[in-house]
Amino acid sequence: MLKKVLKFTVPLALCLILVLASILVAGCGPAGTTATEIVIGATRDITGPQAGFQTYGTAPVYKMWIEEVNAAGGIDVGGKKLKVRLIEYDDASDTSVAVKNIEKLCTQDKVNFLFGPTGTAMLFAVAPIANKYKTLMLGSEGGATTMEPLLANMPYVYSVLNYSNHFQLPVFCDLIAAKGAKTVYICFMNDLHGAEYNLTMQSECGLRGIQVLEAKSIPVTIADMDPIINEAKSLNPDVFCMFAYPNQNILFMQTAMSLNFNPKCVIVGPGCNFGFFNLMFGAALNGVCGEGAWNAKSSPAAAAYAQKIEPLVGGAGNMDWWGSIVYYAEYQYFAQAVTKAGTLDTDAILKVFRTEHFQTVVGDFYWSVQGNGTGGGLLPQACYVGQIGQWQNGIFEVVDNDSHNTASFIYPKAPWPQS
Amino acid sequence: MNLSNISWRKLGLNAGVPLVILIALIFVPFYGSWADYGITLFSLFLVYIILAVAWAMFTGSTGYLSLATAAFYGIGFYAAALLYPAEGALVPLFVVVLVGAAVSFVLAFIVGAITLRLKGIYFAMFTLGLVLLMYQVVNYWLISVLGIRGIVVALESNEVIYYYLVGILVVSILVAYFIKRSKWGLALRSIGDNEEAAAHTGVNVTMIKILVFAISAALMGAVGVIVATKTTYVDANTAFNPMISFSPALMAIFGGMGNLYGPAIGATIFTYIQEILQTGSLKNYYMLIFGLILIATILYLPSGMMGLIQNLWNRIKGARRRALTRG
């Protein structure tokens, strides 16, 4: 009899626990906005393949900014200080989950604003949804050429990060053309980031008479780069471009060194801009270029910011010398725009976004509004601290050929050190 | 017609309950201040219910474990990407839904003709391989041939998406019901019980398997089109996500595949649990709790939630009968 009873009570008890847990969990969900706070939502990769960005990407920057704002009593909105509260959901880099999260943030949690998601593909996925719910989204990691025409019809989306044609590769190609580079080999990952950098590089090289010897795509799972490096070595390019993500870029560095492949210039995609690249490769990294860029020498404000953010990201190894400073500048701008608007009404704040300049950690900050002034926004070139970085003696120097540079561009770079 | 021959209780269960549910579903978008979030949540329920019902339509009867759901669902995504882009729709949405369904049907027919002679783990492996193959081919075509990665689909309003999903759900339930009640349903069950015996009794096992596989694929393709207008961004990762192959299967198993309500109940409960775990205060333990629920289901509910409900109902009925007998 007892056996029979147990046979049914165990599954029943399990179901009961599930139902009660669901009610409790649902009850514990965040409440909607109150008049005393500003609620900002974000769907982020907290447990998925891009989870590292929660440590060294946008997340530590907005968390620091929120702490600072709240420590100062909040953002002044029409004479009343409102504290900022963050609601962050995990999407594990699954676009369908990210879309669902954004819908929940906008419709149930009724957030006032959104922070951007983790990465370019996710930005593509959630930007139309943010726009659909007329919720202002402040950009984060990610940005893409193919997004530009779409921004014209997305007035609620502001993308802050620089990328291939905006304005990194034109600056890079100017640098190598000025030094007399004639040939380029491109290796790119077969995703949105790699594909766009490849096409932009080919087009920019064409404009400057630089010959592209080969453009080879690689999968994200690549485990052996020997054939590509051997082929590149046989073609002897002046410049080697590695447009992939940290794992593939690290593999490239190791393979290029072991096969003694020494082009005059090497540019490496995301990963190279982080402090851990310097910790991994040390002196071998001298002369290697990356996408970015800023450093503590960019300005006294940048130095103070670097000092402030470094302990929060977990040390020098997690310093992001590409986007970190513009994310922070964007939040500083946002706070001033809300104060200027004097309301949490998104359309009133957008009016400020479209017209106003504010001083931030990067200096004068304003938006280039797409769609003849009615669409979403991109950051103009003048607001970036730099476009191309080059590791020189442990510093990711800004080597742009303008007033932003913190060191001269080294070309040709020294050969890899022999171990 | 002799009305006394009609089992009103059976009719109520077979037609009344679905009708009440359908009417309730039609009014969800108008349900007060909760409507905004409710419509998105219910849309999610509908997506997984359709996928689970379509999956169970074939696998539940034949026992052939298909993991190709994501391949057909992904075809729907790309039908929307190509015919319903953000720059301007080329045809009306219902035509895109029909195209998504038709292309999925044709692909499933071809794949089925080639592979439905495989059995057991070989068929499951092949269908999962099909998802990965589709991913690689589409990815190569976009990146290396077209030089793009993602395509943005025209955004539809929540109401349009919702009612399309209700429509596809109705079609799915009707198709599943009539297949189950037809000669095909009997043939499918006999295939599931003993395929050789079914063939010896004159059942054209290959053709029936292929056709039902293709019909279920068409429903998956139709859902894919509608989901694409909701998520709007289409790339190979989004379209051919292997989790879309596994989730409806787990949902149908959780709900029980013995009747039509099982996959629907499983999909609803699973989706809701997923939703509250992912965004509630236990979000960091989501995968852990989800895993525990699955283990518990497989250990204690081999016939799914519907099996549990039926067992309970039988016990209650038995207890009442015993009480009446004693009385």
pLDDT tens, residue by residue, B307-317 = 888 888 888 87
Domain ranges (residues) in chain A: 38-163+303-383, 168-290+386-398
Structural domains in chain B (count): 1
Chain B residues touching A150 at Cβ < 8 A: 86, 152
Mean pLDDT of A228-235: 97
Identify the residue with better confidence: A35 or A172.
A172
pLDDT at position A23: 40
d(CA A418, CA B1) in angstroms, rounded, equals 96
**Is the CB of B280 less than 8 angstroms away from the CB of A195?**
no
Tell me the H-state helices in A28-111: 53-56, 58-71, 95-107
CB-nearest partner of B276 from A22, A46, A125: A22
Assigned domain for B23 exists: no
**A168-290+386-398 falls under which CATH superfamily?**
Response regulator (3.40.50.2300)
Chain A residues touching B296 at Cβ < 8 A: 11, 14
Q: Is the backbone of residue A342 left (phi > 0), alpha (psi -120 to 50) or beta?
A: left
CB-nearest partner of B280 from A8, A15, A26: A26
Within its chain, how far is the Cα of A26 from the centroid? Answer: 32
Q: Quick check: helix, strand or coil at residue A65? A: helix
pLDDT at position A111: 96
pLDDT at position B32: 60
Res A387 pLDDT > 70: yes
User: pLDDT tens digit string along A264-322?
Assistant: 999 999 999 999 999 999 999 999 999 999 999 999 999 999 999 999 999 999 999 99
pLDDT at position A21: 46
Assigned domain for B318 exists: no
Q: Can you list the pairs that B30-36 forms with residues at least 24 positions away whose Cβ atoms lie under 8 Å?
A: B36/A107, B36/A108, B36/B158
Which amino acid, residue B146?
A: L
Collect all residues with Cβ–Cβ distance below 8 Å to A148 and sequence separation of at least 6.
A166, A370, A378
The interface predicted TM-score (ipTM) is 0.79
pLDDT at position A177: 97
pLDDT at position A79: 92
Q: Are the beta carbons of A315 and A128 closer than 8 angstroms?
A: no
Which structural domain range is residue B180 located in? 30-253
d(CA B162, CA B160) in angstroms, rounded, equals 5
Work out whether strand A80-90 and strand A75-77 pair parallel, antiparallel, or are unpaired. Answer: antiparallel
Assigned domain for B93 exists: yes
Res A195 pLDDT > 90: no
d(CA A330, CA A345) in angstroms, rounded, equals 18
Give yes or no on whether A38-163+303-383 and A168-290+386-398 have one common fold. yes
Q: How far is CA A204 from CA A63, A161, A174, A265, A266, in A?
A: 37, 20, 9, 16, 16
d(CA A234, CA A259) in angstroms, rounded, equals 12
User: pLDDT tens digit string along A93-107?
Assistant: 888 889 889 999 998
Q: Average per-residue pLDDT in chain A? A: 89
Assigned domain for B243 exists: yes
Assigned domain for B190 exists: yes
Res A26 pLDDT > 90: no
Q: Report residue A131 as tokens.
A: 């726009």
Collect all residues with Cβ–Cβ distance below 8 Å to A89 and sequence separation of at least 6.
A41, A42, A43, A44, A101, A104, A105, B278, B279, B283
CA angle B128, B131, B136 (to 5 degrees): 130
- pLDDT band at residue A12 under the 50/70/90 scheme: very low
d(CA B259, CA B186) in angstroms, rounded, equals 14
- Where is mean pLDDT largest: A192-201, A284-293, B85-94? A284-293
Q: Are the beta carbons of B301 and B308 closer than 8 angstroms?
A: yes
Rg (CA), chain A: 24
pLDDT at position B162: 93
Which amino acid, residue A89?
A: Y
Assigned domain for B182 exists: yes
Residue B272 to chain A, least CA–CA distance (Å)? 9
Helix (H) or strand (E) holding B186: helix B183-193
Identify the residue with better confidence: B146 or B105.
B105
Q: Which of A136-150, B249-263, B268-282 has the lowest mean pLDDT?
A: B268-282
Q: Which of A173-177, A201-205, A300-304, B268-272 has the lowest mean pLDDT?
A: B268-272
Assigned domain for B152 exists: yes
Q: A84, exposed or middle or buried, with CB in 10 Å at 0-12, 13-18, 19+? A: buried
Helix (H) or strand (E) holding A391: strand A388-392
CATH topology of domain A38-163+303-383: Rossmann fold (3.40.50)
Q: How far is CA A88 from CA A65, A114, A240, B281, B307, in A?
A: 15, 10, 39, 11, 38
Location of structure tokens 């380029």: A184
Selection from B18, B26, B20 nearest residue B166 by Cα: B26
- pLDDT band at residue A114 under the 50/70/90 scheme: very high
Q: Are the beta carbons of B57 and B175 closer than 8 angstroms?
A: yes
A interface residues, B as partner, C-beta within 8 Å: 8, 10-12, 14-15, 18, 21-22, 25-26, 28-29, 46-47, 89-90, 94-97, 99-101, 103-104, 107-108, 121, 124-125, 128-129, 132, 146, 150, 153, 190-192, 194-196, 199, 217
Chain B residues touching A89 at Cβ < 8 A: 278-279, 283
**Is the CB of A25 less than 8 angstroms away from the CB of B287?**
no
Collect all residues with Cβ–Cβ distance below 8 Å to B219 and sequence separation of at least 6.
B50, B53, B54, B57, B101, B168, B171, B172, B175
pLDDT at position B276: 80
d(CA A263, CA A183) in angstroms, rounded, equals 10
